[in-house]
Structure 1
Amino acid sequence: MSVIQNSPQNILTARARLGEGPCWNSEEQRLYWVDIYNHRVHQFNPATGDNQFFDVGEVVGCIAPAGTDRLIMALRDRLAFLNTQNGEVTPIIEIDHTYPATRFNDGKCDAMGRFWFGSVSANEECARLYHYDLDGTLNVMETGLTISNGLGWSPDQKTFYLTDSRRKTIYAYDFDGASGELSNRRVLINLMAESFEPDGLTVDQEGCLWSAMWDGWCIIRFDPVGKEMMRVPMPVQRPTCCTFGNNDLKTLYITTASIGLGEAEIQAGFYSGDLFSLPTAVPGLPTYYFKG
């Protein structure tokens, strides 16, 4: 049986500049995602096709569910909560980037409820990976990155994955769920031979990674040891991230970007910035909530 049952379908004409960070809220049966440079956190209802957004007033890199009617967000240089009933933003902590032209990027929560998020910097190898712990402490988990991007965990929670986009590399680490510590970094996937870069990713229940390929017109599924299994063509040049949703977690939701594309490129990928979905035969892993 094929892992995919169809081709990606355009489900929302969003025309986002930089759509990113989709996460599924199982309690609400809603998909949340961000448009980074338009300062928007979107809420999409797949049952009705309705979409609304909250303008959070500044760059928003990533989000994760954080309880009833609440998300945790990594903004340009701080963490904050968003009330999804009234749009109120409540600051949590400000973080000194040290280097200018740095902002927060992709992130999500682990099974213990910690919030993991990274940064992107105009200064080469100055991006970092952090996690914000349940007791309110902030921990630097990795340094020397170019673009801290797509991250996730294996189904047994023993392996952590991290994408460094400009290096075209997806790393694997040994992961201690109790402490949140990382060790034994190794290259899982090397895409240096390709013209595109890996962006956001998600993991399915078979332990396979689904990675969105920036400028690659595709999503690639890799097995747990990093071997390419399948390329899913996309009708847009810049897919950015993906996550599994719906009751059975067998729908892959895919965000895309239009930023930086010229007129000819927009015409070639007319639906750039829209939201897509893809039915799959293999379910994904659940979205974990922030528990702090």
Structure 2
Amino acid sequence: MSGARVTGGVRTAVASGCELGEGPQWHAASGRLVWCDILGKRLHWLEVESGETGVIDLDHMASLAAPLDDGGMLVVGEDRLSRLDLASGAIERLMGFEGDNAVTRSNDARVDRHGSLWLSSMGKGAESGAGSLYRLHRGELSRLRSGLTIPNAICFSPQGEFAHFADTARGIVYRWALDAEGWPVGEPEPWVDVTQREGNPDGAVIDAEGAMWLALWGAGKVVRLDREGREIGAIVLPTSQPSCPAFGGPGLASLYITTAREGMSAEQRAREPGAGDLFVAELAVRGLAEPTLRLG
């Protein structure tokens, strides 16, 4: 497996200025990249072909808007899952999500190869062990694991035989074997130890060659890891807190990267004026088309 070239450099896609940008998702039906500002309680979108952008204000924190198989989107919110009409901005609550737990909010999420959604919760103050990992399969929510602090890096091998996730606070990326229906088998195994690297593991996505693109929060880069977890490439950003990458655009040849300015001092914000913006890198390797989410 070769290292992927960055063919067009890294540029600002949208100067969105998110406090905590997260959850970029390619909405193929509309040609839009959709991402969240969790703390700003907003959904942002970019129509890639025209360059048009927009913002949808929410009344709660949200971390992902996943494309549904009926053309809408499922918004993963701090205490609820909701259906969104992207064209009109209308939003309808579907079910609660840790609605009885005021400590937590939603965090990382991604649709698996079976059209089911893996999603996570974490403490609003990153309380130790307050987070959990779930799977929403055909409309039914199941808890897969608890006792996590900041669950992140949810992504899946090309054939769906493995899931990955990280606990950012522990600096470990795990690999978890899956059965033919996409359910975990046995215990997750530590796959990559990031504690000896600069930064902490945040969001991740798998490319068409089976390599992982992992955002390193605090290090200002997204690294590419081969199937054995070895670093074989990197994208360096002009800001230190990348949160999550996602492939999008024509041919899934563009890697979009959300960033954040959460926790930065006034001095650091002045040094990193692009903190919180959406960035994009044109790559020689392509992404994998992710299934739309099936609720039934």
**Corresponding residue for 2:37?**
35
**Corresponding residue for 1:25?**
27
**Corresponding residue for 1:199?**
202
**Corresponding residue for 2:278?**
275
Query: For each residue in 1:30-68, what CA deviation from the matched residue of structure 2 results, as whole angstroms up to 9, or x when unmatched?
Result: 101111111111121122221111112110022210134
In structure 2, C-alpha distance between the alignment counterparts of 1:2 and 1:206, rounded to whole Å: 10
In structure 2, C-alpha distance between the alignment counterparts of 1:204 and 1:233, rounded to whole Å: 18
Question: Could you tell me how far 1:3 is from its partner in structure 2?
Answer: 2.4
CA spacing shift, 1:228–1:28, aligned 2, 3 Å:
same
Question: Could you tell me how far 1:92 is from its partner in structure 2?
Answer: 1.1
Instruction: Give matches, 1:243-258, under 5 Å.
Output: 243-258=246-261
CA spacing shift, 1:251–1:96, aligned 2, 3 Å:
closer
Gaps of 5+ in 2: none
Q: Report sequence identity in percent.
A: 27
Question: Could you tell me how far 1:194 is from its partner in structure 2?
Answer: 2.8
CA spacing shift, 1:290–1:185, aligned 2, 3 Å:
same
Of the three residues 243, 259, 262, the one matched with 2:262 is 259
**Corresponding residue for 2:153?**
150
Q: In structure 1, give the amino acid aligned to 2:75.
A: M
Of the three residues 240, 245, 262, the one matched with 1:242 is 245
In structure 2, C-alpha distance between the alignment counterparts of 1:99 and 1:75, rounded to whole Å: 13
Contact map agreement 1:171 1:186 (CA 8 A) in 2: yes
**Corresponding residue for 1:222?**
225
Q: In structure 2, give the amino acid aligned to 1:170.
A: V
Of the three residues 99, 119, 134, the one matched with 1:130 is 134
Contact map agreement 2:161 2:182 (CA 8 A) in 1: no
Of the three residues 127, 139, 142, the one matched with 2:142 is 139
Query: RMSD over aligned Cα, in angstroms?
Result: 1.6
Contact map agreement 1:102 1:120 (CA 8 A) in 2: yes
Q: In structure 2, give the amino acid aligned to 1:14.
A: S
Question: Could you tell me how far 1:179 is from its partner in structure 2?
Answer: 4.9
Question: Could you tell me how far 1:184 is from its partner in structure 2?
Answer: 3.8
Question: Could you tell me how far 1:267 is from its partner in structure 2?
Answer: 2.2
In structure 2, C-alpha distance between the alignment counterparts of 1:172 and 1:98, rounded to whole Å: 30
Query: For each residue in 1:66-91, what CA deviation from the matched residue of structure 2 results, as whole angstroms up to 9, or x when unmatched?
Result: 13441101111111111112211111
Pair 1:188-2:191 in alignment:
yes
* TM-score normalized with structure 1 length: 0.95
Q: In structure 2, give the amino acid aligned to 1:50.
A: E
User: After TM superposition, which residue ranges in structure 1, 4 or more long, deviate above 4 angstroms?
Assistant: none
In structure 1, C-alpha distance between the alignment counterparts of 2:235 and 2:182, rounded to whole Å: 36
Aligned residue for 2:9, secondary structure, equals: coil
Contact map agreement 2:154 2:164 (CA 8 A) in 1: yes
CA spacing shift, 1:153–1:124, aligned 2, 3 Å:
same
Aligned residue for 2:186, secondary structure, equals: strand
**Corresponding residue for 1:89?**
91
Gaps of 5+ in 1: none
Contact map agreement 2:77 2:97 (CA 8 A) in 1: no
**Corresponding residue for 1:119?**
121
